[in-house]
């Protein structure tokens, strides 16, 4: 059995799909599982215990190049089973054109009803389960039934070696010293950025978080603001807070870490050594949680953006705290903004409360 799973989109989505490989291997130990993914997610799968192969799909390439690329993938893999879970649609048509015996996955747009002969229509906007569970339920037509009691069993995995971690930390410490930072402190990772239109905490609050920690634990932590170039606009307000006079004592211990410079494996290796991670609904939050780092995550109350569907998963639940504004939100897909009596509801999450919960899950 050769299984090809198409999930060629964002980091968080891919992490929450990777569990399909484990469930397939539990039922069919000899199955060969290949993931078709975007280039930015390939580092998630290095030395993965259940995924045999990954192939990059360049969704933004010119159309003729994409056709050539996907044709090559199907000729190389020769899948007996194909799954569409998210990302580019072209592989669906190629699977149909090649008359792949089993074409499963998520039926959504009209053409998926044509191309997927074992697809499932899921009303994910109803949010009756977690995104990972929706993905696992796509395996039903293959004779693999998901039981909600097995949720912890199928928590995603990321495999980092000790050599990788040590090398990454050595390089990170060299960079710190070169920029005048003291090494050896416990690290609090703060990641204000995110993609998409999900509600986020105020960027100023991410800055205030540093001041509150410093007030409670003077001169103890290195505060690492992680980001990629696309996140830079999330940093401006936090930097403004940290430029004020009351932040003078902590300036030499706030480091802005561009995770894209040395690659995702390097970033994950450094992150794995953090004492705490704080972030919104984004792929980096999922990475931190899967790595077993204590995580504070901040989620929107809007139904399709909720933690029930998109919350981080971990095998260490005592290391995870999820904050959601204490409001009655009637919105399903997007914020009603000023028409809502709770407009700017994310501001109801207090910095002091985040710090208190963070202390409860950290090893100080």
| pLDDT beyond 90 at 60 | no
Give me the chain's average pLDDT, please. 96
Q: Tell me, what's the pLDDT at 196?
A: 78
Query: What is the side-by-side order of every strand in the sheet holding 81-86?
Result: 53-56, 32-37, 2-7, 81-86, 102-107, 118-121
CB 18 within 8 A of CB 159: no
- To the question of domain 163-361 being in CATH 3.40.50.2000, the answer is yes
79 band by pLDDT with thresholds 50, 70 and 90 = very high
Q: Tell me, what's the pLDDT at 156?
A: 97
CB atoms within 10 A of CB 171: 14
Q: Tell me, what's the pLDDT at 59?
A: 87
The mean per-residue pLDDT over the stretch 314-332 comes to 94
Q: Tell me, what's the pLDDT at 214?
A: 96
Q: Tell me, what's the pLDDT at 282?
A: 96
180 band by pLDDT with thresholds 50, 70 and 90 = very high
The mean per-residue pLDDT over the stretch 225-244 comes to 94
Q: Tell me, what's the pLDDT at 74?
A: 97
Fold observed for domain 2-154: Rossmann fold (3.40.50)
For 195-234, write each residue's pLDDT tens digit. Answer: 878 999 999 999 999 999 999 999 999 999 999 999 999 9
| pLDDT beyond 90 at 107 | yes
Q: Tell me, what's the pLDDT at 197?
A: 82
Q: Tell me, what's the pLDDT at 48?
A: 95
Q: What percent of the chain has pLDDT over 90?
A: 97
For 257-285, write each residue's pLDDT tens digit. Answer: 999 999 999 999 999 999 999 999 999 99
Q: What percent of the chain has pLDDT over 70?
A: 100
> What is the number of helices (H) and of strands (E) in the chain?
13, 12
- Shared fold status for 2-154 and 163-361: yes
Q: Tell me, what's the pLDDT at 364?
A: 81
Q: What is the pTM of this model?
A: 0.96
Return the domain boundaries, the chain. Answer: 2-154, 163-361
Cα 96 to Cα 53, 82, 141, 176, 360, distances in angstroms: 22, 10, 17, 52, 52
Q: Tell me, what's the pLDDT at 93?
A: 97
The mean per-residue pLDDT over the stretch 100-115 comes to 96
Nearest in space to 210 (alpha carbons), one of 180, 176, 259, 244: 244
């Amino acid at each position: 059995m050769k299984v090809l799973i198409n999930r060629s989109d964002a980091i968080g989505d891919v992490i929450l799909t990777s569990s399909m490989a484990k469930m397939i291997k539990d039922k069919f130990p000899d199955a060969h599982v290949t993931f078709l993914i975007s280039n930015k997610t390939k580092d998630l799968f290095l030395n993965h215990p259940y995924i045999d192969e990954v192939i990059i799909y360049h969704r933004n390439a010119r159309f003729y190049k994409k056709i050539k690329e996907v044709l090559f993938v199907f000729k190389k893999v020769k899948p007996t089973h194909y799954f569409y879970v998210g990302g580019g649609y072209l592989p669906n048509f190629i699977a149909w054109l090649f008359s792949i015996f089993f074409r499963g996955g998520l039926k959504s747009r009209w053409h998926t009803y044509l191309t997927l002969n074992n697809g499932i229509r899921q009303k994910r906007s109803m949010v009756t389960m977690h995104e990972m569970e929706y993905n696992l339920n796509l395996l039903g037509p293959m004779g693999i039934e998901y039981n909600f009691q097995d949720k912890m069993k199928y928590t995603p995995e990321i495999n980092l070696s000790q050599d990788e971690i040590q090398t990454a930390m050595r390089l990170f410490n060299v960079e710190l010293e070169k920029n005048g930072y003291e090494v050896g402190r416990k690290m609090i990772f703060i990641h204000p950025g995110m993609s998409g239109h999900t509600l986020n905490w105020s960027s100023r609050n991410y800055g205030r978080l540093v001041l509150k920690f410093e007030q409670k634990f003077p001169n103890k932590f290195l505060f690492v603001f992680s980001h990629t170039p696309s996140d830079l606009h999330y940093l401006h307000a936090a930097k403004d807070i940290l430029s004020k006079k009351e932040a003078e004592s902590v300036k030499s211990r706030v480091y802005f870490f561009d995770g894209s410079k040395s690659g995702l494996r390097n970033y994950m290796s450094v992150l794995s050594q953090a004492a705490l991670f704080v972030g919104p609904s984004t792929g980096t939050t999922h990475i931190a949680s899967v790595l077993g780092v204590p995580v504070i995550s901040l989620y929107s109350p809007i139904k399709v953006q909720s933690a029930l569907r998109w919350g981080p998963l971990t095998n260490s639940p005592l290391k995870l705290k999820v904050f959601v504004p204490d409001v009655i939100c009637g919105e399903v897909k997007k914020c009603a903004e000023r028409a809502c009596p709770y407009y700017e509801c994310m501001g109801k999450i207090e910095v002091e409360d985040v710090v208190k919960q963070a202390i409860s899950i950290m090893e100080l």
